[in-house]
Chain A
């Protein structure tokens, strides 16, 4: 890529970044300009991608099929036959546009109903796949199989047979951790009962404990997401203060 173009591209990117960042200070005309520019470009891009990346490969190509013609022998081979039935999707999709019609707007619910129908049917299909293994995974054993040591011994450098033996055992420290796991999941589940009143000290206590444990989990998620977000910000700073400044000084040597 040639240098001038690269510099122009960088500069525009830097201005746009600053434009959007300006909303951190307050909403100004400067921000408004870049916001609308962004929305316009994004809408235009979606219209391009609509055909290029979705309708053509997902619909048109599959509907019409494709043929390869050999350069030499001129014999054509069918790569993929055309599935004519996809043609029905066009009228059905177009019905969605009747949402603006006063008289026939009910027809727009047909494509919407189909989309929602597929989604709903899938819920029945995927429930077990998604949660079955997790239900089993929550049934952790809590009775240690050995009391030779409180924690799992350090195995590096041991004979493989001994390592395998240790790996197959449940040590007390793990058993305690597993018990905490089971208590946590049961307490947190109890927080999500809606249809009956929680009475009595035990149930109320479990409910509160469940809420605290949930908050603890949320805190952990919060903490572990922070790094990725800060890196993005640091990279933007590097984009402006390192890359753009470098390229600018390359383009205008002696300028500053």
Chain B
């Protein structure tokens, strides 16, 4: 079999995959350094999430179920950090617990420490353990545990002790964070930051007892959105788009017109609701940093497909001409 000289298009058609890989690495890595603001229309579910976080009664405690680990850091860390920033801005007390994975508390703790340090650098007030928040760790047996929390949070969490601000160990319900929580419904909101099926358990066990909100990975989105559509959860952020949506609203608010502006950047389904932006600390961070690389990667993919097809047709035409 004689192989005729390969034309440029022939070669392009069977481009070495490693070239594509190198281009992807270079483009995504460089675009990471440009934190750009890309205008978007936030999803309705993200808007509801943001509005409920920003309108929560600051005297009520928020329970955060942190069920993600480093393997889904790309999406979940962004969610968790945005959540921390909003709650700290609004001075809402919160409790962090995990039921999915024994590693989850440490991962959440690291993320919390990052935000604390960042706030310290910006000259903002840091959140104090025991007084402003509690980090009560991992509870095994997800299903049984949430059922227990739903039935009686005081017995379910009663055994846990933490150091108070003087360094003495005391039961967590003596802390100012939980002292006003007798039943789970006394909490203002339960936010589940999850990369796993614990969202199903949360709806099964806690729905109807306390308002629920989710922040989940893109993969879990299709599982979680039906709960939102059925009105079982107040809001939900899905995947990186969800992170970016929330960060975008943190910057521009919802239905919010700054002085002199005629139109709000983000419109809400109800005209009467006006939610101001987050005015202290960082607003656009991980979501904004990853959003441009994502666009770059998707564009690269679409261009690669187009390029492959053009090459295919061009080489076909060449062969026809040669005949």
Indicate if A touches B (C-beta under 8 A): yes
Which of A's residues lie within 8 Å of B, judged by CB? Answer: 1, 24-25, 53, 57, 156, 225-228, 230-235, 237-242
> Closest chain A residue to B71 by CB distance?
A232
Cβ of B210 within 8 Å of any chain A Cβ, yes or no, is no
- Decide: A57 and B140 in contact? CB cutoff 8 A: yes
- Decide: A227 and B32 in contact? CB cutoff 8 A: no
- Decide: B297 and A233 in contact? CB cutoff 8 A: yes
CB distance from A87 to the nearest CB of B (A): 22
10 new A-B contacts, CB < 8 A, other than A1-B110, A233-B24, are A24-B18, A57-B141, A156-B269, A225-B219, A227-B240, A227-B241, A231-B218, A237-B29, A237-B32, A238-B32
Cβ of B294 within 8 Å of any chain A Cβ, yes or no, is yes
Which of B's residues lie within 8 Å of A, judged by CB? Answer: 18, 21, 24-25, 28-29, 32-33, 73-75, 102, 110, 140-141, 217-219, 239-241, 269, 289-290, 293-294, 297-298, 301
Query: Using Cβ atoms and an 8 Å threshold, which residues of chain A touch B219?
Result: 225, 228
| Cα(A57)–Cα(B144), bound, Å | 13
- Decide: B141 and A231 in contact? CB cutoff 8 A: no
> Closest chain A residue to B24 by CB distance?
A233
- Decide: A233 and B28 in contact? CB cutoff 8 A: yes
Query: Using Cβ atoms and an 8 Å threshold, which residues of chain B touch A233?
Result: 24, 28, 297
Q: Knowing A226-B298, A237-B32, A238-B289 touch, does A231 contact B74 (C-beta < 8 A)? A: yes
CB distance from B302 to the nearest CB of A (A): 10
Main secondary structure of the interface of B (DSSP, over half): helix
CB distance from A56 to the nearest CB of B (A): 10
- Decide: A25 and B29 in contact? CB cutoff 8 A: no
- Decide: B75 and A234 in contact? CB cutoff 8 A: no
- Decide: A24 and B21 in contact? CB cutoff 8 A: yes
Q: Knowing A1-B110, A237-B293 touch, does A242 contact B239 (C-beta < 8 A)? A: no
CB distance from A63 to the nearest CB of B (A): 16
| Cα(A241)–Cα(B33), bound, Å | 9
Query: Using Cβ atoms and an 8 Å threshold, which residues of chain A touch B140?
Result: 57
- Decide: A228 and B294 in contact? CB cutoff 8 A: no
- Decide: A241 and B239 in contact? CB cutoff 8 A: no
CB distance from B48 to the nearest CB of A (A): 15
| Cα(A232)–Cα(B74), bound, Å | 6
> Top 9 nearest A-B pairs by Cβ distance?
A235-B74, A228-B218, A231-B74, A230-B297, A234-B293, A237-B29, A231-B240, A234-B290, A24-B21
